[in-house]
Amino acid sequence: MWRSKKFIIAAVLAVVLLVGGIGGVVLAQTENGDDSQPKTLMARVAEILGIDQQKVEDAFAQAQKEMREEALDSYLKDLVAQDKITQEQADQYKAWLQAQPDLAPYRQQLREWQQGRPEIPAEVKEWKEAMPEIPLPGPFGGRGFRGGMKEGGGRFFWGR
């Protein structure tokens, strides 16, 4: 009989703790008075600095672009220093990259393409096909792998 009382007391105590914990979480969430979506990082930074969120997003995008350009310049400079490509090839690659067509008019078409896989816009296809031959970093460029990837019969095989 004493065992069954212990079991009942333990079960009641567990239920009380569970209900109390859930109630505490609900109460803590509603005390903020802010039932909207959590703020993004950009919104919080803008709020802390006391400036417009769009200015923060624009500054972040500009910083990303500048850092990508610096990384590309450094990578191409290293390739030239290692005599893997000439300075002319590096300049040609940068010119090709900067000639990328504006994709803004194609954004909706690209979204639809992702769903239906229609033909890539001719302007984008021509730009991609004009890419100069230089070794690219990462697994698809073969850096760190022997031979990179080779295409064959619709499948990719690792080269040796």
Residue 150 pLDDT: 40
User: Is the pTM above the cut of 0.75?
Assistant: no
Helix pair 41-49, 53-81: axis angle to 10 deg: 110
| Same domain for 47 and 72 | yes
Q: Contact 111/160 with Cβ under 8 angstroms? A: no
Q: Is residue 45 part of a domain?
A: yes
19-42 core/surface letters (b: 16 or more CB in 10 A; e: else): eeeeeeeeeeeeeeeeeeeeeeee
Residue 79 forms part of a structural domain:
yes
Span 116-148, pLDDT tens digits: 766 777 888 888 888 888 877 765 554 444 344
**Highest mean pLDDT pick, 24-33, 86-95, 140-149:** 86-95
Position of tokens 């950009």? 42
Where in the sequence is the domain holding 72, given as residue range(s)? 41-98
Q: Which candidate, 84, 65, 87, places its Cα nearest to that of 134?
A: 84
Residues 50 and 94 in one domain: yes
Q: Which of 136, 132, 148 is nearest to 79 (CA)?
A: 136
Instruction: Examine residue 54 and state whether it is found in any structural domain, yes or no.
Output: yes
Domains of the chain: total: 2
Tell me whether residue 121 is in a domain.
yes
Is residue 35 assigned to a domain? no
